[in-house]
Amino acid sequence: MRLLYCGDIVGRAGRDAIIQHLPGLRSRLALDFVAVNGENAAHGFGITADICRKVYDAGADCILLGNHAWDQRDIIGYIDSDPRLIRPINYPQGTPGKGEALIDIGRGRKVYVLQVMARLFMDPLDDPFAAAEKALATHRLKREADAILVDMHGEATSEKTSFGHFLDGRVSLVAGTHTHVPTADAQILNGGTAYITDIGMCGDYDSVIGMKKEAPIDRFRRKMPGDRLGPADGEGTLCAVYVETDDMTGLATRVEAVRVGPRLANAVPEVAAA
């Protein structure tokens, strides 16, 4: 199976990058499944139902969120009606939405998608390790699902790396999101799980993690409240991680970073025809 997971969409630049590049990548890489993190898609903060529809139309099979899940209040009334829109599973019980989805992709195949939010330098949510353990007890690789994609949305590289090793051998991919900076550590762990600490963002890299440069620079220099952060609006780059899995085990046989757009060195895997 061929999977692609696109990093956090930041503002219009990120949305445009997804709309422009994802359809071509879906065809060029003969992808079976595409996930996208959309938690910063609406002017840098949250997502809307209309943006969800546009991301699905571009070729996404599901959308994941994160710590900005509720920044657009309208999403609270929408999320329960969209089974493919996923927020971290370790939010407290009673929070709208779901933190997991088992998605039928046709030809008798299913992909299980799970998201947790880390706790170091983040909101003090329930234990992400325990939440993942509980979820995977009933969604096992090559029993209930042909592939399993897990997103750990977090700040600390140590927490995300620990989480990847914790799930090694039990899922197809553990991918970090949230920092908006792509890491160079895409690898297959000893047990066969593909791993990357952070995919990076889909957005304008002539920025401070997707935001216009002036306001964050001023905040760091003066340590005073300043202008509201706003997403940079130059041409966006799509950053993603590409994974191939073994049909017999569901574990990874290949993992590579994907980058399409200006400023960063472009990288698109060469693949054989499906």
Nearest to 88 by CA among 10, 189, 12, 163: 163
The number of distinct structural domains making up the chain is 1
Terminal Cα-to-Cα distance of the chain (whole angstroms): 10
Report the CATH number that the domain containing residue 94 is assigned in CATH: 3.60.21.10
Is the residue at 28 inside a domain? Answer: yes
User: Would you say residue 274 lies in a domain?
Assistant: no
pTM: predicted TM-score of the whole model, two decimal places: 0.96
Q: Work out the number of other CB atoms within 10 angstroms of the CB of residue 262.
A: 13
Catalytic, out of 68, 139, 153, 178: 68
pLDDT, one tens digit per residue, over 1-10 is 999 999 999 9
109 within domain boundaries = yes
Please identify which residue in the block is written with the tokens 């890489």: 29
Q: Considering the chain, what percentage of its residues have pLDDT values greater than 70? A: 100
Predicted pLDDT of residue 13 = 98
> Model confidence over 178-207: pLDDT tens digits?
999 999 999 999 999 999 999 999 999 999
pLDDT at 227: 76
In a domain, 265, yes or no: no
Radius of gyration over alpha carbons of the chain, in Å?
17
How many angstroms separate the CA atoms of 167 and 165, rounded?
5
Question: Which burial class, exposed, middle or buried, applies to 239 when counting CB atoms under 10 A from its CB (0-12, 13-18, 19+)?
Answer: buried
86 lies in a domain?
Answer: yes
Q: Give 39's pLDDT tier (boundaries 50, 70, 90).
A: very high
Q: What was the pLDDT predicted at 222?
A: 87
With bands split at pLDDT 50, 70 and 90, how would you rate the model's confidence at 274? low
Mean pLDDT of 228-253: 96
269 inside domain: no
Specify if 175 maps to a domain. Answer: yes
- Annotation says 165 is catalytic: no
Q: Any residues with CB less than 8 A from the CB of 270 and at least 6 apart, and which?
A: none
Any domain includes 270: no
Structural domain span for residue 191: 2-260
